[in-house]
């Protein structure tokens, strides 16, 4: 910092050399400390910061080269100048290869000492300026990356909000139009029951969409499952299958559930219920006839769940989009006009939360198979 005197450490086993350096440097405004040997020098280095260190190349105990290595490990930005006798110039050159900035041959004058110290401190200022410039550039780069990411997120959020508004306006608009027609007398009283049924269906669609949006938003806000407990995956599947079987049988579908293992995971039961419910409900909705087969097993330390149907299927082009919020293919809209388009995104988010994956195989007109995998024990109690 400008105005703060440079802090210099002189490490030399000769008291005359130490005091001579002190007398030459102190009047020039430098703060000078001295040490008789390497161990004392390292101790002082740990106690306070130094800008430049003068090191005697030949000292008893720890040599100048050994001391240089310790200093570099402590603070590689300190300027080190090796003090050497005429007979050890080669040693000084070796020290410079190992990180010393310069060397000063004995005997030397006060002016020579001042010149080399000033040169070393100028180099330290240059290095410091370069480091600060690099840090500023890196900070600016990080800020620009963060700005770009925020811009991307804002764009995604804006598009998502537009989609939400569009999807919610549809059933709300139908409800309003039906009510206006009924209140204005355009609907015969004999048709009221039909219109009320349509109103109820649209209201159910709107509520289902809001429920799914809330569930998806809560899942996206999580980084870890909250308060996971031991959950038997097979028990959850049995409960969900028992609730959904009547809907499948009402359509004349053959509904099979095969449980080959009863694995236990640390999870929120509601998450696993939602996972099975969305997959099986989709299979029932989009299978006009035929069968639905649900299976649960363990393979190589993983839980494997499969929901396969003989329904309308999904084209190759559409497979890459089925986990997008609100996406529904034309075939799906024809089969189930009032779906929310959020079931599979919820499934995908649950699997991400628990470190799972999902694979989809499908052929239009022949059916689909959704197979997910979960680690048997994804989370440990207390973590």
Q: Both 293 and 208 in a single domain?
A: no
Question: Do both 86 and 16 map to the same domain?
Answer: yes
Residue 368 forms beta bridges with which residues? 362
Across all residues in the chain, what is the average pLDDT? 85
Give 165's pLDDT tier (boundaries 50, 70, 90): low
Among the candidates 57, 83, 108, a domain finishes at 108
pLDDT of 35: 93
Would 132 be classed as within a structural domain?
no
Last residue within a domain, chosen from 220, 236, 270: 220
- Tens of pLDDT, residue by residue over 356-383, are 999 999 999 999 999 999 987 644 433 4
Which domain-ending residue is among 190, 220, 250? 220
What pLDDT digit, counting tens, does each position of 192-221 carry? Answer: 888 888 888 888 777 877 777 777 878 877
Report the distance separating Cα 74 and Cα 156, nearest Å.
47
Q: pTM for the complete prediction?
A: 0.53
| SS3 of residue 341 by DSSP | coil
pLDDT for 81-139, tens place per residue? 988 876 566 776 777 777 888 888 888 899 999 999 999 999 999 988 888 899 898 88
Residue pLDDT, tens place only, 62-97? 888 888 888 888 888 899 998 887 656 677 677 777
pLDDT at site 163: 65
- Same domain, residue pair 237 and 366: yes
């Amino acid at each position: 910092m400008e105005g703060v005197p440079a802090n210099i450490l002189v490490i030399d086993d000769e008291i005359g050399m130490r005091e001579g350096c002190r007398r030459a440097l102190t009047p020039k405004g430098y703060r000078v400390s001295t040490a008789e040997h390497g161990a004392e020098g390292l101790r002082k280095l740990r106690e306070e910061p130094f800008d430049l260190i003068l090191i005697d190349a030949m000292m008893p105990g720890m040599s100048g080269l050994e001391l240089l290595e310790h200093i570099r490990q402590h603070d590689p930005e300190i300027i080190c100048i090796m003090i050497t006798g005429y007979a050890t110039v080669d040693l000084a050159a070796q020290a410079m290869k190992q990180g010393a900035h310069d060397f000063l041959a004995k005997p030397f004058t006060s002016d020579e000492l001042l010149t080399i110290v000033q040169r070393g401190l100028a180099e330290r200022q240059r290095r410091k300026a370069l480091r600060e410039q690099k840090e500023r550039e890196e900070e600016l780069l990080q800020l620009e990356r963060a700005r770009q990411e925020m811009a991307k997120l804002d764009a995604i959020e804006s598009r998502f909000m537009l989609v939400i508004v569009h999807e919610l306006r549809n059933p709300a608009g139908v409800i309003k139009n039906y009510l206006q027609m009924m209140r204005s007398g355009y609907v015969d009283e004999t048709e009221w029951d039909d219109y009320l049924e349509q109103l109820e269906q649209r209201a159910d669609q709107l509520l289902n969409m809001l429920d799914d949006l809330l569930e998806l938003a809560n899942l996206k806000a999580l980084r870890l499952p909250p308060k996971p407990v031991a959950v038997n995956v097979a028990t959850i599947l049995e409960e969900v299958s028992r609730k959904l079987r009547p809907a499948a049988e009402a359509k004349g579908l053959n509904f099979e559930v095969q449980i080959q293992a009863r694995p236990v995971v640390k999870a929120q039961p509601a998450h696993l219920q939602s996972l099975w419910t969305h997959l099986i409900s989709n299979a029932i909705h989009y299978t006009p006839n035929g069968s639905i087969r649900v299976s649960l097993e363990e393979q190589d330390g993983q839980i494997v769940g499969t929901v396969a149907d003989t329904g309308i299927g999904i084209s190759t082009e559409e497979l890459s989009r089925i986990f997008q919020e609100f996406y529904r293919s034309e075939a799906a809209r024809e089969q189930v006009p009032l779906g929310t388009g959020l079931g599979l995104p919820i499934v995908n988010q649950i699997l991400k939360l628990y470190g799972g994956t999902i694979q989809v195989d499908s052929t239009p007109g022949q059916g689909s198979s959704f197979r997910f995998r979960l680690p048997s024990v994804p989370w440990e109690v207390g973590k």
